[in-house]
Chains A and B, each alone.
Chain A
Amino acid sequence: MSKPRGYKQRNLLMMTMLAPYIFLLIVFGILPLFMAVLEVPKISIANPDGGWDAFKIVLQDFRFPTALKNVLGFMAYFVPMMIIIVIAMALMLDVKTNKWSKYLRLAYIVPASISGAVAVLVWWAIFEPTISPIKSVLHFFGINSARQIWQTENLVYLIAIMTFFSMAGNWILIQYGSLQSISTEIIEAARVDGCSAFQLAFRIKLPLIRKYIIYMAVLVFAGGLQIFVEPQLLNTGVYTGIASSWSFDQLSYELAFKSGDFGGASALSIILLVPSLIGALVVIFKTDMFDDKTIRDKKSSDKADL
């Protein structure tokens, strides 16, 4: 089979479009990974003899089990909360579009514009009984001191709430978008067949956006694993020490910048890469998100439609 005409141009076009991504991937992904691997065996205060023991030293660090417990505890609330509420909100937004829909969409995006750093301050103020806008509610529940709320063991819930509010809005809109991609013919057909709104949501819409949900789950999982900003800000700026080395990323930061152990920090980063990489591979190979075949099928069916 001879190569079709314009193949070269198309190839060049593809490379041009890929180039910025490849460049960023190399500079901010692959290169740092290699640097991290090279960094691990270097001599540091914690690893005075150098060598690959750095991995062992990090895994045996007395803060590692606590960080593991915290991050897993946080994700146990955060990940399901994100998926269930986001999907529910997106489905509700999609039920019937009317003139209020665009305002609702706007309302969802507003909390998302509050970044993690600002969210910490917002929630600090909300839960500080001396200045809180919901003072009376807090007093009603017997909360007269911020110390009753801001305790290390409550952080799994508090950080889950903060992170949820700063991330949910974006995802609601993305999933709303994925619902919009469902062909109106299918929805019409389901309605004609007597589908109720609930049946439509659970039997028709959800299965059709399944891959987007898995995609979101993996990204939310990877993001949760790398939680840093919220606990770090709480720890350094609001309640000193409340979340010291609370998460893996914080521990890595602590190792590098407080104990001067860049090797240990690199080792921990490499360890953290493993679950995120597995997540990414699951999305690529176990879902049809990036499946060539579906894309080809879709194209040929598009052509057939024409």
Chain B
Amino acid sequence: MRITKRAAAAVGVLAIASSALISMPSQAANPSLLIWVDSPRLPGAKEYAKIMKGKVDVKVELHSQGDLLAKVQLFNRVKKGWPDVVFGPPNDVAVLRNPIIGNAREISTLLKAQEIKNFGKLNDWCKGSDGKYYCVKNDMAQSVLWYDTALFAEFGYTVPTKMSELFAIGADLAAKHPGYSLGALSDAAAYSSYFWPSQCPLNNELSATRVLINSKSPKCTRVTAALQPLIDKGVFYPGSAFSPEYIKIAQEGKLVAHIGPSWFGEFVLRPASSFNIPTGRLTAAPMPMWEGETVNYSGEWGGGIYTISPHAKFPRAALDFALFMVGDKRNVVDVVNPDKSTGAPTFPAYIPGNKLWKAKIDADTYYKASPYAAMAAQAGKVWTGVKPVRYDADGAWGAAFAPEMAKSKDIQKALDAYATYTSNLAQQLGYEVTTKK
């Protein structure tokens, strides 16, 4: 019994000591900020913490993009712990705005008029149907046509401005240069490069409770009809661009062109561990236009956002961080990344930051010609029919489209599988799914 008494006493002492620790008054007079970013944004966030030392107490935490929803719900339970500002995938804004989750505050009232102007159209993704902004877009992931200038010259191709011209190149490759490729079509690549720019209605949120999903629309079937023969002939690869098999094709110098997001150059085409395309060959051209259209739209693959928690005590300080990331030279151009490269790796969605970034990419001798002009031309042309939705529309490309592509290599069937999967998901999360506007 004596032992138990002693143990109880010890527990009591510990409890008192720990509660004393917790109740010690905070001495900080500065605003404090808890920031969550992924690894490509980490150097910039750390730089910000350094710059703000003495003015704002910045704490930076690395977190994976996928776990925010779960964490926020747990924080909601215990009513504490929310990060003030978070970098996440673009769809997060719809999920976080849901009242049950409630972790994306409206920021229009925080933004100065000049700042809103500085975004131009580049922050339209974050604008709700009420005309207010709910996030800050970090970067544009607009699709452009990446191509190998050396192979184009060797095979005598001119840069396509129409989709039919691109597919004609594909047919020519199949006939005269078998083994050469125009890209990989799994993951979200088929979506951001072809279906979205073609205005194929998937994930088109019409209102908070209605979403348009129709894989049989002519805007979708024209894509599948054009791509299928080229998939069959091996010009388009029916798997992921990140698979060892496709990386091998690209590393052997067989990649002629690839419609891909603006970050494709720095993250996929260039790195030695990835496609490793040699210096002085690559550049980007604007998107080819679909027949019968007047605008050569882009799609987006990624293009992350910063959301600010309604629980943030210093929301303007949180917003200042987001604006630093997209608009300040110290991040956009100067910050040193772990691979010794400098500056933000992706196309900033904020005009002043974007101008700084232009100088950086123009000066880069890796590219045959600067891809900036094509990126800039497409940045304002992302088709806006696609909206943030409350279900995991991006994950569904892996869950439904990719497995069917691997199995049957039938792209229409794979798209139908995607539409069925997302329709089910959408209904489960309270949407009415419609196939007509």
* A interface residues with partner B (beta carbon < 8 Å): 43-46, 48, 57, 61-63, 128-131, 145-147, 150-153, 235, 239-242, 244-245, 256-260, 262
Contact = CB atoms under 8 A, between A and B. Distances in A.
B392 interface: yes
B59 to A, nearest CB: 24
Nearest to B403: A152
Given A46-B428, A152-B407, A258 B392 contact: yes
A238 to B, nearest CB: 10
B273 to A, nearest CB: 14
Given A130-B245, A145-B245, A241 B70 contact: no
B395 interface: yes
A242 B428 contact: no
A128 B69 CA distance: 34
A20 to B, nearest CB: 16
13 contacts: A46-B430, A48-B100, A62-B424, A62-B428, A128-B244, A152-B406, A240-B240, A242-B403, A257-B67, A258-B69, A258-B392, A260-B69, A260-B73
B406 A150 contact: yes
Interface in B409-430: 424, 428-430
Contacts, number: 87
Contact of A45 (B98, B187, B402, B407): B98
Nearest to B72: A260
The 6 closest A-B CB pairs, nearest first, are A241-B398, A244-B399, A257-B70, A240-B398, A62-B424, A152-B403
Nearest to A147: B406
| Interface residue tally on B, bucketed by range | 20 to 34
The dominant DSSP class at the A interface is loop
B50 interface: no
Nearest to A242: B403
Contacts of B240: 239-240
A240 B429 contact: no
B395 A244 contact: yes
Given A45-B430, A128-B244, A241 B397 contact: yes
Interface in B47-99: 66-67, 69-70, 73, 95, 98
Nearest to A152: B403
Given A130-B245, A258-B395, A240 B100 contact: no
Given A45-B429, A61-B428, A260-B69, A240 B407 contact: no
Nearest to B428: A46
B95 A260 contact: yes
A241 B243 CA distance: 13
Nearest to A57: B428
A44 to B, nearest CB: 7
Interface in B346-402: 390-392, 395, 397-402
Given A61-B428, A146-B243, A150-B406, A245 B73 contact: no
B187 A240 contact: yes
Contacts of A57: 428
Contacts of A45: 98, 100-101, 390, 429-430
A146 B245 contact: yes
Nearest to B243: A146
Contacts of B313: none
B314 to A, nearest CB: 26
